[in-house]
Structure 1
Amino acid sequence: MFHNSAEFCILRMSASRAWTVGAVFLMWLFGSSLLIGAQDGITDPIEVQALRDIKSTLIDTNKNLSNWNRGDPCTSNWTGVLCFNTSLDDGYRHVRELQLLNMNLTGSLSPELRRLSRLEILDFMWNGLSGSIPKEIGNITSLKLLLLNGNHLTGPLPEELGYLPNLDRIQIDQNNISGPIPTSFANLNKTKHFHMNNNSISGQIPPELARLPYLVHFLLDNNNLSGYLPPELSKMPNLTILQLDNNNFNGTTIPDSYGNMSKLLKLSLRSCSLQGPIPDLSRMPILAYLDLSSNRLNGTIPTNQLSQNMTTIDLSNNELTGSIPANFSSLPNLQKLLLANNSLNGSVLSSLWQNKTLNATESLTLDLENNRLTNISDSINLPPNVTLWLKGNPVCINDNINLRQQCASRSDNVTGSQSTTNSTAVCQPQSCPYPYEYSPTSNLSCFCAAPLLIGYRLKSPGFSDFPPYTIRFEDYLTSGLDLDFQQLYIDSFAWEEGPRLKMYLKLYPVYNATSNSRNMFNMSEVQRIRRMFTGWLIPDSDIFGPYELLNFNLLDIYNEGTVTTSSGGISTGALIGIVLGGIAVAVTLSAVVTLLILRVRLRNYHAISKRRHTSKASIKIDGVKSFTYTELAMATNNFNISTQVGQGGYGKVYRGILADGMVVAIKRAQEGSLQGEREFLTEIQLLSRLHHRNLVSLIGYCDEEGEQMLVYEFMSNGTLRDHLSAKSKETLSFAMRLRLAFGSAKGILYLHTEADPPIFHRDIKASNILLDSKFTAKVADFGLSRLAPVPDVEGAAPAHVSTVVKGTPGYLDPEYFLTHKLTDKSDVYSLGVVFLELLTGMHPISHGKNIVREVNLAYQSGMIFSVIDGRMGSYPSECVEKFVALALKSCQDETDSRPSMADVVRELENICLMMPESDMGVSESIDTVAGKMAPVTPSSSVVKNPYVSSDVSGSDLVSGVVPTITPR
């Protein structure tokens, strides 16, 4: 903003210098294009603004997002923002991933996330975010990974998340989420992973989730779930882990059908208040981990043959009776058999350990404490890696010296402790220059290398003892990462509550003999490895289960960014060249950026100056108040987010209360919106002279301090689209829908025939039809409207306006789209689509299906009532059929085949006249509809208020008020 001529002159001088600097470097810049490359498109401006809005709701203590105000998100490498490599179909780059893992962020998630319309990965894991999960995330139909675990999020799960068609993984574990699981989650047909453990989710598990065809991991442990265990879950064809520990299915039994889960590897129902018998598990061929402990299960342990994969059987703390099944002795991979605190009797089977051959890394724990076991079937000779606990059994009453250790007290903690592996590596720790260290992974030679440091956790492994699986794990992980087996070193591991297995891993580069014994990964390899973890691109493993990345730390040498090869070194000449080139690039780009900024500021200066000198004078119109910024800020509590009621391409809409107590809607243009400025002026100019009960009234505007705001009457019942949504709590009857169609049509007819000159709306859609407290329909949003052609001196006027195509997909007139010729019939087409929405409740475009085509097919096949919205209750079929016919006629591809708006209003009136008397009560308050309306009389000239008799006063026509009229 420039306040005097001196400031403007300084700006002109700065611009001149910038031009000079730009010219000096221009040739060099083109010559260096191979070094710096050409940028293929910029980021979609809607997404740029969305990222800024997202940042505004975050508290970034560590300043990790400080570069989010610099340059373009996709081409300037904003922290955590990953984009598609090239422009997409609209010429822009788009954000593909938002990777903000473990950045110490607090604050809340912004609803503006929905504007990242091409986003595939949303990752806010391991931060301190609070507040609820925005329902608007459900609008990101491209989303594949929703990763919000490890925060402080509260509130319920939004139902809208159940409509994400491409979602592969939802991780919200370790938050404070409450409320039930929405039944809409049964629509997640591509989802493989439900990780919702460690929250406060309550209520019944929806049986409808059994419809999920690809669900692999179902982790809901440590919540407040209740009700019963749905037997239907056994129908999930690919389920491998069912983990529901620490919930309260009070007094219910384990369904017998769970024994049919042929792909289940882990069944964990610990502390779920279950009772009844243990079902037959012999039909589960790969089951490896069974935990039914701390319930009230009774009866005997089934003696059917169990899976040979069994590693863990925990049936402790129940009310089981009978003897220990002999088939437990024939499980070759068994690591833990926990049967403590039951009422088992008979003998302790020595075959449990005598039949096993254990190597140095394998162990077996048998916890049989506090039962009624009376003796041991054979000798007590235990191998050194077998642990047996017998305290609290009759076999311990006699002070048998051979059982003294097994009958003694012990610690309750039987989980593994932290351990270090690979201790047999050839290389011993020696001195390497910081931050390098000797790689312990090579059996060929010792070398200094810079490892990648990774915090990693197995969330639900299918075993209880890790050392026997170490080599298998190393092979699994390095194969998944496409690394050599020797590049992975497990620095340490520890069991955590869950049980979960936490590890610290080091990944080393491959030895390079030419590197002077200092090796490191190149940055492209670092990025590739990180993406393998963060994108969950490592293939799943049944035995290791789901994993999570806790952190991915780079040593300082990687953050310096000076080394670009795996050898870790570059020549001095190359380094000097890169540094000098970088300086030159920086200077050049600085000059160019300065030049562009100055040019933009000059252009904005002229535009703002012009607007400040001309627009305010031209907008001074009777009946439209000019508000100050302060007045509107006070009306909205300084535009507090709690007063926001909507948002569109223009900007945000707030509910405000003026000083006189009047409730208004305030539409505030987003900063820097050129399109918004055009819409701002257009809407003021048009609405200031439009007065009709079916058009939203403009009360005033604000045009100061760089702000552009429009003030309307407040429509307390929101948009028509809101009430047609499946999420709407209030349903609309057919009579009410007919009323809303009639009101909308009359408002548009007024635009086409009563406005002087007539107006083409150009953006009619269900979300631009607002409903007041009495459910009167009012057409809104005239930012895209255009004046109809003005007749020439001979009284002739073209039938169309030639203009760039604008509007909303699904509502666009096909002929206008192809020819760029906008007519009144373009509005008829859009309104016809709205009529189809009223009839079916469908969206104009949904899952690739077009509402016009779908209804047309149903109509032509005689199945029209199959697509009618069942929520509107009973309706007269003849009236519905006529309404459908009118809607489809309005949506004809050819302009000439569509009715005029006057014809539309007339036909709606006729349908109203056909409505039964019993429904008239619903419609009685609607502009005195139907039976109290006069018939429309066609005219060769402009139709004047065709739905009232000719003796209506001119003042009534201007106000749009339709008085009660006796039919003629």
Structure 2
Amino acid sequence: MSQRVLVVLLLVLNYVLVAEGETADGDLTTFLSLINTWENTPPNWVGSDPCDDWVGIKCKNSHITSITLSSTGLAGQLSGDIGSLSELETLDLSYNKDLTGPLPESIGELKKLATLILVGCSFKGPIPDSIGNMQELLFLSLNSNSFSGPIPHSIGNLSKLYWLDLADNQLQGNIPVSSGDISGLDKLHHAKHFHLGKNNLSGSIPPQLFSSEMALIHVLLESNQLTDKIPPTLGLVQSLEVVRLDGNSLNGPVPPNINNLTHVQDLYLSNNKLSGSLPNLTGMNALSYLDMSNNSFKPLDFPGWFSTLKSLTTLKMERTQLQGQVPTSLFTLINLQIVVLKDNKINGTLDIGSSYSNQLRLVDFETNSIDSFEQKDEVPNVKIKIILKDNPICQENGELESYCSSSQPNVSYSTPLNNCQPGTCSSEQILSPNCICAYPYSGTLTFRSPPFLDFDNKTYYSMLEEGLMNSFKSHFLPVDSVLLSHPSKDSTQYLELSLQVFPSGQNHFNRTGAFSIGFLLSNQTFKPPKVFGPFYFVGDKYEHFENSEGLTESSKSSNIGIIIGAAVGGLVLLVLLLLAGLYAFRQKKRAEKAIGQSNPFRRWDTASSKSEVPQLTEARMFSFEELKKYTKNFSQVNGIGSGGFGKVYKGNLPNGQVIAIKRAQKESMQGKLEFKAEIELLSRVHHKNLVSLVGFCFEHEEQMLVYEYVQNGSLKDALSGKSGIRLDWIRRLKIALGTARGLAYLHELVNPPIIHRDIKSNNILLDDRLNAKVSDFGLSKSMVDSEKDHVTTQVKGTMGYLDPEYYMSQQLTEKSDVYSFGVLMLELISARRPLERGKYIVKEVRNALDKTKGSYGLDEIIDPAIGLASTTLTLSGFDKFVDMTMTCVKESGSDRPKMSDVVREIENILKSAGANPTEESPSISSSYEEVSRGSSSHPYNSNDTFDLSAGLPYPKVDPKNLVIVKHRVDVQGISKQNKNIIVKIYS
């Protein structure tokens, strides 16, 4: 943790002090944000510049262009700030199983991203629709996660996409195809890989999905819930090499034009409900693996065209109603290895002849009607396993023959030693094929359609080992050897192999070597021999990197044990330590007793009953069952928001009061300190511009905070347009004033003072009159007497709003809130996020500011929704507001004003604009409810007349002279000639 803090401080130091550093400011700030959301980042990220040879990071022209961090043990979530790395071209975070949470919507802002690989992590939730905005994307691999929901139609917009792999998730719904203006997968004419197997996709395979314009070579849809017929359009994609439709509920006949697919090597149609006649596959001369088992085809004599498939290695036709006698010519196919025709009606004599393939390994005719068997001559060095169990021939022979048993040899393989003598390795090291003890990089290779069933064929594994080594060497990776072992297959006929890659020249890989191996395997740079087909790799966390002392990290742990053992051996030192420990323990108990008398939270960590939880006079303790009842069992209908902490639910108390319940997720209960802090702080602060705490719940391993319900959501939602509320200039000034008053109260009237530490638009809520209420005190700190000037504390907050002086010094003051407030004011002016597309709003305003021009030269930055677009409308006091705001964001805290000074300045601006800073606007609750239900009504309108001066920078108007009709009315401005109000009325 201390090393992470050091990295953060060094990054921030570079950001604050260097105007044009090696890494662009926006990229540097974004990268700092990512580090704050991740754990277990590489410890050798040292220095102030990520572009200075940081492992896993590549840059070009001062911008980060590549992040490849596979098998690092990263934990946490992918921050939404990732979208600000505008020049990023490659993002590979594969094989980090503790990376979880949703994929942020902002991922779509990476317009230059060409490679996105997140294989073998724990991401969940829907794939964001914004992913279709990445027009340069070539490689999209999100397989082996927990993504759910539908496949986004927008993926069809990725016209350059080559590789699409969404397999092994929990995706649902139909396969998306285009309709009208909506794109679908049928638009991906350049894609060669559709890997969508092992999901919960349903519905039919759309005929529109395939056309002669497609360049597909792999269509993998196995193990879903697809229904209806196989579309005949499949036969139009003559580039196909692998087709897997098995493990679904497809029905009807196989389209006869499927034999147009003359390049197909692997065809899986098994485990469906296919019917009709068995398709004639004559002409499919590249076909190597054919499996149509477990369907409902019409009874058919064994077709002679099987013997024409010259490339056939494996034929599986279990339970397909085949009958008659198998011709001897089938076994003469020179590549044939496996024939499995179990549970059919094959009869007569099984004759494999004398010219059978010297690769033949297994002939399985279990449960048929064969009454005799002939094998004229055995081919030297060829051992064939014949299985005729449960045939008449075995009943006649009393099942004494070897072929009357169904047992098959156990599959086992491990790369043999390379003409060397094995040695003894330490407990954590493994012997390589070259007899070198080392720490290998390991994982599992999975082949999705190996065109063979002979998993014990050592020749294939030798080919694979050679291919892997050639690939590593051609990319100049420090690999000495590879070890393949433990081959196995699962119910979907996937072949899994354990892979261990051994380092060259030393007994461990450095981080660059490990990341490079992971990236080579994750982005499919390695091309296996064709006999193995498409694959994916899931790597294990690599923990044996070298530290600064020249030891691997695991070795260092072992040495610590030796040191501890030596220390324990010092008897005298041990006695002294025990005595010192006893003394310290007694002192600690005395201190805890003294502190505990004034600390109502001292027993929460071990609380087992309500009596042990503090009963605060201003906050009611709710039971879990009560809150469950008030929220209708935390129903989705009552959900009103979510964040990193968990979800927020709306509830109703028996007395009619509406409440908001913030319920922490199990994994985000960071929070015992923050949880205590928020309850303790909110139970003793009371101000109309602070959200009121109603109570809390701390039982059933739950952490819940119960607040007053603030009706109109967050300021962030209002500025973004999400809530449907439009904010004019005067209303924005009043929101700024309310926020400032709340902060001034915390800083100057509460004893001891409180620093909020996380002021941002998402934490400013708007009530039914659009009054601002400061919320979320989870990061707040009290200024005790011993810390009158500052609190020394770990840096926490939200990127973009954080005070740079606090960044550098870790010294928190009330002026840190002032800086965050200043950023919030710039957000009010611009409706832009503080960090957006690599641009920092404070820097953007500073660069654009020109006091000699109207609106200070900020016309391009000001939010048009304020009303400045109208030539008849001006923003009264805008220049003074900007002056005050820029003072709040000065780099030195001593140069910033106090919040009470800010309050007075905003009050004066409002007065100069003709508005009363103490007057509240009328409630907009009814009109806002209309908007939330989909009405087009303006949120400030109602069926009654109202006073325009309460929320708009106009002179007083007699309400009797203004008729509000049941249509949308937008006030555009005031005519300078006759003072008439200019409006637009929408029918």
Q: What are the residue-to-residue correspondences of 1:890-901 with 2, within 5 Å? A: 890=882, 900-901=905-906
Picking from 46, 68, 75, the partner of 1:87 is 46
* CA deviation profile, 1:7-43 (whole Å, cap 9, x unmatched): xxxxxxxxxxxxxxxxxxxxxxxxxxxxxxxxx9733
Residues 1:493 and 2:483 aligned together: no
Gaps of 5+ in 2: 10-37, 57-66, 86-90, 179-183, 354-362, 371-387, 391-404, 601-610, 629-633, 697-702, 784-788, 850-854, 890-901, 928-936, 956-987
Separation (CA, whole Å) in 2 of partners of 1:261 and 1:808: 46
Contact 1:883 1:911 in 2 (8 A): no
Contact 1:229 1:252 in 2 (8 A): no
Output the amino acid matched with 1:475: E
Partner of 1:334: 288
Partner of 2:5: 44
* CA deviation profile, 1:558-614 (whole Å, cap 9, x unmatched): 9999x9899xx9xxxxx9999899969999x999x99x999x999999999999999
Partner of 2:723: 731
Local SS of the residue matching 2:489: strand
Picking from 813, 830, 837, the partner of 1:847 is 837
Partner of 2:315: 365
Instruction: Classify 1:439/1:119 alpha carbon distance in 2 versus 1 (closer, same or farther; 3 Å).
Output: closer
Q: What are the residue-to-residue correspondences of 1:793-808 with 2, within 5 Å? A: none
Separation (CA, whole Å) in 2 of partners of 1:822 and 1:348: 85
Contact 1:477 1:538 in 2 (8 A): no
* CA deviation profile, 1:287-331 (whole Å, cap 9, x unmatched): 234436751253643266536462445477524658624321x21
Q: What are the residue-to-residue correspondences of 1:470-485 with 2, within 5 Å? A: 470-479=461-470
Contact 1:159 1:185 in 2 (8 A): no
Q: What are the residue-to-residue correspondences of 1:80-159 with 2, within 5 Å? A: 81-89=40-48, 144-145=92-93
Partner of 1:631: 615
Residues 1:267 and 2:188 aligned together: no
Separation (CA, whole Å) in 1 of partners of 2:941 and 2:207: 54
Partner of 1:547: 536
Gaps of 5+ in 1: 1-39, 49-78, 98-117, 126-132, 511-520, 570-574, 617-626, 702-708, 787-800, 938-968
Q: What are the residue-to-residue correspondences of 1:415-494 with 2, within 5 Å? A: 419-421=411-413, 441=433, 456-458=444-446, 460-461=448-449, 463-465=451-453, 467=457, 469-479=460-470, 487-494=481-488
Instruction: Classify 1:609/1:742 alpha carbon distance in 2 versus 1 (closer, same or farther; 3 Å).
Output: same
Picking from 180, 202, 210, the partner of 1:249 is 202
Contact 1:336 1:464 in 2 (8 A): no
Instruction: Classify 1:473/1:43 alpha carbon distance in 2 versus 1 (closer, same or farther; 3 Å).
Output: same
Q: What are the residue-to-residue correspondences of 1:915-930 with 2, within 5 Å? A: 922=940, 930=948
- C-alpha displacement at 1:196, in angstroms? 5.0
Output the amino acid matched with 2:117: R
* CA deviation profile, 1:771-813 (whole Å, cap 9, x unmatched): 3466532246897999xxxxxxxxxxxxxx9999999765589
Q: What are the residue-to-residue correspondences of 1:215-614 with 2, within 5 Å? A: 216-220=163-167, 223=170, 225-230=172-177, 232-236=184-188, 237-238=190-191, 240-244=193-197, 247=200, 249-257=202-210, 260-269=213-222, 272-281=226-235, 283=237, 285=239, 287-291=241-245, 295-298=250-253, 300-302=255-257, 305-306=260-261, 308=263, 310-314=265-269, 317-319=273-275, 321=277, 324-328=280-284, 330-331=285-286, 334-336=288-290, 338=292, 341-342=296-297, 348-349=303-304, 352=307, 355-356=310-311, 363-365=313-315, 367=317, 370=320, 379=329, 382-383=332-333, 385-387=336-338, 408=369, 419-421=411-413, 441=433, 456-458=444-446, 460-461=448-449, 463-465=451-453, 467=457, 469-479=460-470, 487-505=481-499, 522-525=506-509, 540=524, 541=526, 545-549=534-538
- C-alpha displacement at 1:474, in angstroms? 0.9
- C-alpha displacement at 1:745, in angstroms? 2.4
- C-alpha displacement at 1:458, in angstroms? 0.5
- C-alpha displacement at 1:249, in angstroms? 3.2
- C-alpha displacement at 1:419, in angstroms? 2.8
Contact 1:313 1:336 in 2 (8 A): yes
* CA deviation profile, 1:621-657 (whole Å, cap 9, x unmatched): xxxxxx9971249737699999999999999999999
Instruction: Classify 1:124/1:699 alpha carbon distance in 2 versus 1 (closer, same or farther; 3 Å).
Output: same
Partner of 2:140: 192
Instruction: Classify 1:775/1:294 alpha carbon distance in 2 versus 1 (closer, same or farther; 3 Å).
Output: same
Separation (CA, whole Å) in 1 of partners of 2:910 and 2:551: 73
Local SS of the residue matching 2:4: coil
**What is the TM-score normalised by the length of structure 1?**
0.54
Separation (CA, whole Å) in 1 of partners of 2:298 and 2:213: 28
Local SS of the residue matching 1:488: strand
% same residue: 16
Separation (CA, whole Å) in 2 of partners of 1:862 and 1:195: 46
Instruction: Classify 1:485/1:162 alpha carbon distance in 2 versus 1 (closer, same or farther; 3 Å).
Output: closer
Picking from 151, 162, 169, the partner of 2:117 is 169
Separation (CA, whole Å) in 2 of partners of 1:750 and 1:559: 50
Instruction: Classify 1:754/1:219 alpha carbon distance in 2 versus 1 (closer, same or farther; 3 Å).
Output: closer
Output the amino acid matched with 2:165: F
- C-alpha displacement at 1:85, in angstroms? 0.4
Aligned residues: 751
Separation (CA, whole Å) in 1 of partners of 2:129 and 2:672: 41
Local SS of the residue matching 2:206: coil
Tell which has more relative contact order, 1 or 2 (C-alpha 8 A, sep 6+): 2
Local SS of the residue matching 2:203: coil
Picking from 154, 157, 169, the partner of 1:208 is 154
Instruction: Classify 1:739/1:628 alpha carbon distance in 2 versus 1 (closer, same or farther; 3 Å).
Output: farther
Output the amino acid matched with 2:723: T
Local SS of the residue matching 1:272: strand
Contact 1:836 1:852 in 2 (8 A): no
Separation (CA, whole Å) in 1 of partners of 2:527 and 2:483: 22
Output the amino acid matched with 2:486: S
**Over the residues paired in the alignment, what is the CA RMSD in angstroms?**
7.8
Separation (CA, whole Å) in 2 of partners of 1:526 and 1:724: 49
Partner of 1:940: none
Local SS of the residue matching 1:195: coil
* CA deviation profile, 1:84-140 (whole Å, cap 9, x unmatched): 40435399x9x999xxxxxxxxxxxxxxxxxxxx99669889xxxxxxx99886577
Separation (CA, whole Å) in 2 of partners of 1:542 and 1:173: 23
- C-alpha displacement at 1:265, in angstroms? 2.8
- C-alpha displacement at 1:493, in angstroms? 0.9
Instruction: Classify 1:461/1:847 alpha carbon distance in 2 versus 1 (closer, same or farther; 3 Å).
Output: farther
Instruction: Classify 1:216/1:829 alpha carbon distance in 2 versus 1 (closer, same or farther; 3 Å).
Output: same
- C-alpha displacement at 1:273, in angstroms? 0.8
Separation (CA, whole Å) in 2 of partners of 1:479 and 1:258: 37
Q: What are the residue-to-residue correspondences of 1:740-751 with 2, within 5 Å? A: 741-745=733-737, 748=740
Partner of 1:128: none
* CA deviation profile, 1:203-252 (whole Å, cap 9, x unmatched): x4321222456573424468573335425214444452423367453345
Instruction: Classify 1:214/1:751 alpha carbon distance in 2 versus 1 (closer, same or farther; 3 Å).
Output: same
